[in-house]
Structure 1
Amino acid sequence: MKKCALFSIVSSLILLGCSSTEPQSQANQDETFTSVELVPNKQAPARVLLRGQIVIGHESRTIQPCNSNTTYWLSLPESVRRIAESMTSKPYQPMYAEVFGYFEPATMGFAEEFGSQFVVTEFNIITAENPNRCDQPTRDARAFGNEPSWSAGITDNAITLMQLGKETQVLPVVNLEQDTKGTRYDLVQGKLEVNYQVCRDSMSDSIYGRSAQLTTKDQTYVGCSTDSNEYSDLSAGEYSQSIDNSTNLTLSLRPDHLAETRYSYTDGSDDVVESGYWQTLESGLVQVTSVTYQGQKIIATREFELKGDTLSTEHETINGATYPLTNGGLTLKKAQ
């Protein structure tokens, strides 16, 4: 395994989620379930977290982010889609999900109707138990399970093990290793292994994106694990620029990742509007992609450099061809 520097994952001190990986030998267990892996895609252009309500069916695979009226097409790995759909009791039943991934234009099939799609590369949870979880507090990274019920907060220097009726144990981390399978925390006495393997909650209709096994000097605990679901991108906001004293360009980057570019004219002409999505790329650039122009389909992308409260770019790519922007490009200031 490749050794890595310790990194900070904030501790979770709330005892929740009696979950465990069901044994592969169980009679009603799909034999392929415990072999389903969802390894994070290191080549993905971005890692965005969306929390919200999802619907999975033959003609509709969508996500509506929390506190948003926007709906995106949801592109799930086929193995995960089949498992999630099997948890519902009726067609197109809403579920709650926390998924990591990136945006791209939707140009084919049922997805084309939405213009934008969210490609899932990892997930924390997909559950049919309660689709209305957007108002629940966010949580830090943790591992948890049942039989016995346990929960462990994960930090860069300790695993905090909590059990009902027992004293909390703080287990120091002495080494951390990562590879393509997951992460291992070596403890003073024991270890925590978090693997990129889909984990089923044996007490509810829920699945998780990681399995976990915590070994202490006294016992081995088996269950699931989630990353922190607290996410915000400080790039969100409204940016504007006056062009030649005749046009005002306003770029709105909403927290639900909807992007709108609006051109307003001093001569009273009707506004021109482009809409689509935005995301901060792994390179640090803010990518804004319009999928409609005045209601007509288009794929137009601008990649902005963010410095302080200013977004700037000199190029635009339209339907695959890149063009220089006139007058030295765009320099948009964020509204305070």
Structure 2
Amino acid sequence: MKPLKILIFSSLMLLLQACTSSMVSSPSDHVTLGQSAEIQLPRIMFRGQLVIGPQTSSFTPCNSNQQFLLTLSAQQYQTLSQQVASPYQSIYGEIIGFLTAPSQTGYNADFRARLIAHQINYVSQDAVKGCSQPVQSTETQGQKPPWRVRMTSPETLAVKFGNSSPQQWPVKRVNHTEEHRVYTTPQGTLTLSPSVCQLNHQALYGWMATFNTQKGRYRGCARLGNQDPSTTWIATYHASSTRQDNFSVTLTLKADHTARTLYRYQNDPVPIVETGFWQALNADQIQVVMTQHQQQYLLSQRIFTRKGDQLHAPKEQVGQQIYRINEGGLTLYRSKP
């Protein structure tokens, strides 16, 4: 471990003696550092501006100035390249994927994170308007004849045929698999399948829709709701020692999934700064990965478990090594708004 990290751990040892509270044992399905070679990361809906280029593609979340390195499959790259008039043109996109650490080589180390694209949800050529629009719910539409279905709640579909008034159809059953998302109502069944779909040249949808009703079968395109369910984690978390009151730790989780940790000494006006990213692993846990330490590339990560307004991490991984944090782990408290 580097000397600066040893200094931080020594300070944390005193800090945690005062701040760590007893935590309930994690359920068996919780994630812990070192339990496996690779943590399975749930997929997240990211909204923002895409820049597609022959050498590098990037993603900037809405209302953020942070860029993620965007990793696309060959098919995804070909599809998105057809949506831009020239290389490196900015467009609006919704990407389903997860974050990983960038490599240390070359320009990659300048990015906070790498966004691995699993699937395209929706793409529009108007980059500015896309981010200015409010969050959308799951919606499907088709032409010839025109029809539209919008999910107004988890239990209700608003169904509209042509110029008729919308009808409220209750959802009786939902079935989600890798191949299909199926919404069953007494009046019909809506099935979404992951596949590129276009109604016009201005927008690209990531799902094909089949709507079987008593009136007949309708086909069209769909986009899933673009709400990020992990926004409940967004906050600033803080811990300070009562035994060593000149030392504190502050973790900030931002809406664009970037993260920052400050280690501050009262007699030093310049804090030690680590920056990186975060993502939810399940309802109770998040992964916080730091990719830069004092603006130098250095990988470290913690997995925090939430209990009320507290976050608790018993271990930290620095590079390939996993260390137990002294005195039972690091506990941070959510700051009051």
**TM-score per shorter chain, which class?**
0.7 to 0.9
CA apart distance, 1:46: 2.5
The aligned runs of 1:298-313 (5 Å cut-off) are: 298-313=298-313
Structure 1 residues 187 and 252: CA distance shift in structure 2, 3 A: closer
- 285-294 or 156-165: bigger deviation: 156-165
The aligned runs of 1:1-336 (5 Å cut-off) are: 44-107=40-103, 110-154=107-151, 156-199=154-197, 201-231=198-228, 232-243=230-241, 244-268=244-268, 270-282=270-282, 284-336=284-336
Cα distance in 1 for partners of 2:196, 2:106 equals 28
- 171-180 or 66-75: bigger deviation: 171-180
Cα distance in 2 for partners of 1:250, 1:173 equals 44
Cα distance in 2 for partners of 1:218, 1:84 equals 36
Root mean square deviation, CA, Å: 2.2
Structure 1 residues 294 and 128: CA distance shift in structure 2, 3 A: same
- TM-score, scaled to structure 1: 0.80
Amino acid at match of 1:147: K
Structure 1 residues 188 and 224: CA distance shift in structure 2, 3 A: same
Partner secondary structure for residue 83 of structure 1: helix
Cα distance in 2 for partners of 1:219, 1:301 equals 53
Amino acid at match of 1:79: Q
Cα distance in 1 for partners of 2:127, 2:290 equals 34
Unaligned runs of 5+ in 2: 1-38
- 314-323 or 179-188: bigger deviation: 179-188
Deviations 1:161-192 (A, max 9, x none): 21342233444555544443202334434432
Structure 1 residues 239 and 189: CA distance shift in structure 2, 3 A: closer
Give yes or no for contact 2:112–2:275 (8 Å, CA) kept in 1: no
Amino acid at match of 2:98: Y
Deviations 1:219-257 (A, max 9, x none): 322111122112252111111111322211111111111
Cα distance in 2 for partners of 1:327, 1:156 equals 44
Whichever structure has more helix as a proportion of its residues is 2
Structure 1 residues 128 and 303: CA distance shift in structure 2, 3 A: same
CA apart distance, 1:129: 4.4
CA apart distance, 1:59: 2.3
Cα distance in 1 for partners of 2:295, 2:154 equals 48
- 76-85 or 224-233: bigger deviation: 224-233
- 53-62 or 125-134: bigger deviation: 125-134
Structure 1 residues 163 and 290: CA distance shift in structure 2, 3 A: same
Amino acid at match of 2:201: S
Amino acid at match of 1:285: Q
- 84-93 or 169-178: bigger deviation: 169-178
Partner secondary structure for residue 89 of structure 1: coil
Cα distance in 1 for partners of 2:183, 2:112 equals 42
Cα distance in 1 for partners of 2:178, 2:117 equals 17
Amino acid at match of 1:307: K
Cα distance in 1 for partners of 2:117, 2:275 equals 22
Cα distance in 2 for partners of 1:332, 1:161 equals 46
Structure 1 partner of 2:3: none
- TM-score, scaled to structure 2: 0.80
